Chain A
Amino acid sequence: MSPVLAVEGLTVSFRGKIPAVSDVDLTVGGGEIVGLIGGSGAGKSTVARAVAGLVRPDHGSIRIAGSELLGARRAEVRRLRRMLHLVFRDPYASLPPTARVADIVAEPLAIHRVGNRGERADRAAEAVEAVGLPTALLRSFSHQLSGGERQRVAFARALVTRPRLILADEPTQMLDASLRRDMVDLIDELANDRRIAILHVTHDLGLAQHSCARLVVMCRGHVVESGPTAELLAAPRHGYTAALIAAAQHRPSKGLS
């Protein structure tokens, strides 16, 4: 069976400059959490944004459940897009500032014209419960929520179309440390219980070690290393990976200056 997400030879450049992402390969299977690791400017977010259709790749292939996304006809693109959802880093910016939770969560259903108003409301309530929020929150406005609640709403919005793939772009980065673990637990739950494929973009190796089965390490737009998490962390082959590991342990690194 083909993986939920298969990216091959993905190259993205902005305005004809040096590619931000070049020749990236990666796959994520159903129920699998893959960590896309790297420092700022490594190109990891660009990969996620390319899969979500926010930036146009120069070339390469993005297959969702075996079907090619790039160059597909409009109806096919819409069908494939419904299977995936991108969760942004900043929950304060990624939700509309003046809308009710119920409408925010139901929006993907409205976009894809799924069900009538009542059915959408039911599914939104279901999704809000699934991320561990009380349904009383459905009537709240986004600005009344805390950062942690907002990010859960963003995940509820991701779940409402019952996607097969969630791209999570540093979803814990803006949250307080005491909330990060809960968010990671939620992501684990989505992968384990719902068999959703998750590409978790992060620079936090501690977090990746905790929840990702495999890691893909990016540096300056290239994949420098990938493999099962435990093996990769125990014996990094690339100097950049070693430097990231040292930094995560707050040790001086010998690899990079």
Chain B
Amino acid sequence: MNRGLSRGLAIGGVVLLAILLLVALAAPLLAPYDPDERSGRPFARPSAEHLLGTNDVGHDLLSELIHGGRVSLLVGVVAALVATLIGAAVGVAAGYARGWVDTVLMRAVDVVLSLPTLPLTIVIGVFAGPGLGTQILVIATVMWAGVARELRAQVLSLRERDHIQALRAMGASPVHVVSHHLLPAVTPLVVPQFVLATKTAILLEASLAFLGLGDITAKSWGTMLSLAHSRSAFLTDAWLWWVLPPGLAIALTVLAFALLGFAFEERARPSLRVRSRPARSGPAPRRVARGDGPALVIENLAVTYTGDAAAVADVALTVSAGELVGLVGESGSGKSTVAAAAAGLLPLAGEITAGAVLVEGRDIATLPADELRRMRGNRIALIPQEAMSALNPVHPVAEQLAEAVLVHRRVGKQAARRRAAELLTLVGIDPGRGRDYPHQFSGGMRQRVVIAMALANDPAVVIADEPTTGLDVLVQEEVLALLDTLRRTIGIALLVVTHDLPVIETVADRIVVMKDGRVVEAGPAAQVLTAPEHPYTRLLLGSALRLQVPEPAP
């Protein structure tokens, strides 16, 4: 939803609710008569004395309406509170304890959720007899289960987080973990649940009261409707002043709570928000014919994220065909921003404010979106960090490779499949394994598949973003050796981004070191490694704890 609109709706909800609450609280002051007092003749039409007329026994309807809000809101809020508290307790207990506690509680939740709400409330209501207590009990009984289910899911995922695990490792009791950490963490989710539950509870209360299960001595809007119905007000003009006002009151209250609840929910889950894309400003596209120049040229590149200082400034580097350049930097150095800019994949908030990224002579910083899309995966390819999340778990890998080919090439399915088999062979996987799914491959093999996918359309430039992070140490070496071989055999320009200098020192031709958004040192690998000029490069080299063992005899 648009932010301005959703903010306006939230404010509308708050104002509406505030008015309703004020009226309910100040009912004795606002109401012209005591609602239980015979203040006029029965069935009076609206007049100056009785703005909404009177009912069958001469009670003032306006006074009933004003006082009725108290009962409706009270029952709604209390019932929702009880339901939310029970639901929260059950959900947290089930999610945290797991095992048989979870099984028993959640089966109970399933049963409650699968029963039809209205018939159930009627049955329990008739059984327990009319009255406010009964209404609250009945409403809470049917509503706690939804809250419980929602919170259990949250707690299940929270309890596996490291900081909760850390508490358990410190010997914290479940009571401590739940009261000090889980409850505060789920509260932002409980609040919208409560508000939306109130909305439902008020509707249920009206239904119950209409069916005659309300407390006749404490009339709510539902009770008013029920009486109006039994005195045939629905069939005469009287519906205008007897039926419409309480109906409208119920609708407005429900609307107010709904608006407020959705606003809370949106705040608790930012993913429900949709951001708007900032307009891209920049110089006109420029094309430089440089057929024999380096495949990737980055010229005094500057990238700024919305509202912040430049994340990257004055970065220049080149990668020629068949060359492997290592881009090294620690967290916050801007290396990933450079990689994203080079791949044409800057996040929405990022903008190239100066410089150029030339892939085969074309400046991708200024290309229109559709041309950029044609370049990505075709002339420039990215090897992402996490191999598992880069592959679709429900399709065989050969199919995914074929799809990557078909995105950019108009070839038949057969040709795409042949190409997939070729690609698998290229990265050292038996093409027969193409029928297997990603989970059937080891971490290293999956990374090989991801590399194959990047190569699907013979790109000129490949950018590998931390291609070995998270992989087993032995597999890291394999993956690097493969990348090294590939750039030699098929002549791609390869930019490897890493935070770990030792990882690339044996394979890189040239090394570019970044710190705080700027290049501090760049040069041939041998020179950077043996005679670093910048103190930061020396720090990086000096702080590496290298294994020193004599070379084993051949």
Contact = CB atoms under 8 A, between A and B. Distances in A.
Contacts of B331: 147, 176
B543 A181 contact: yes
Contacts of B171: 53, 77-78, 81-82, 108, 111-112
Contact of A40 (B180, B471, B501): B471
Contacts of A184: 545
A95 interface: yes
Contacts of A137: none
A174 to B, nearest CB: 9
Given A111-B172, A178-B539, A96 B163 contact: yes
A86 B166 contact: yes
Contacts of B272: none
A contacts with B: majority SS: helix
Nearest to B542: A181
Interface stretch (B136-144, B337-345, B407-415, B474-482): B474-482
B269 interface: no
Interface string A195-209: 000000001111101
B166 A181 contact: no
Contact of B169 (A54, A180, A207): A54
B167 A203 contact: no
Given A93-B162, A96-B181, A247 B170 contact: no
A108 B171 CA distance: 8
A180 B472 contact: no
A186 interface: no
Interface residues of A, number: 56
A243 to B, nearest CB: 6
Interface stretch (A24-32, A59-67, A128-136, A248-256): A248-256
Which of under 10, 10 to 19, 20 to 34, or 35 or more describes the interface residues of B? 35 or more
Interface string B156-172: 00000111011111111
A224 interface: no
A250 B473 contact: no
B472 A40 contact: yes
B513 to A, nearest CB: 12
Given A177-B330, A177-B499, A250-B477, A52 B169 contact: yes
Contacts of A206: 544-548
B549 interface: yes
B505 interface: yes
B270 interface: no
B543 A244 contact: no
A77 B161 CA distance: 23
A148 to B, nearest CB: 10
A108 B163 contact: no
Contacts of B506: 250
Given A203-B472, A206-B546, A97 B163 contact: yes
Nearest to A93: B162
A176 B331 CA distance: 7
Kindly name the residue among B173, B505, B543 whose own CB sees the greatest number of chain A CB atoms within 10 A.
B543
Kindly name the residue among A40, A110, A206, A209 whose own CB sees the greatest number of chain B CB atoms within 10 A.
A40
Contact of A176 (B161, B163, B499, B548): B499
Contacts of B500: 177
Contacts of B501: 177
Interface of A: 39-41, 49, 52-54, 77-78, 81-82, 85-86, 88, 90, 93-97, 107-108, 110-112, 147, 154, 157, 176-181, 184, 203-207, 209-210, 233-234, 242-250, 252-253, 256
- The 9 A-B pairs with the shortest beta carbon distances in the complex, nearest first, are A81-B171, A176-B330, A93-B162, A39-B472, A52-B169, A40-B472, A94-B162, A206-B547, A206-B545
23 contacts: A39-B473, A40-B471, A81-B170, A108-B171, A111-B167, A111-B172, A111-B173, A176-B330, A177-B544, A178-B539, A178-B543, A181-B543, A184-B545, A203-B472, A204-B545, A210-B545, A233-B549, A234-B549, A244-B473, A246-B477, A247-B473, A247-B477, A249-B547
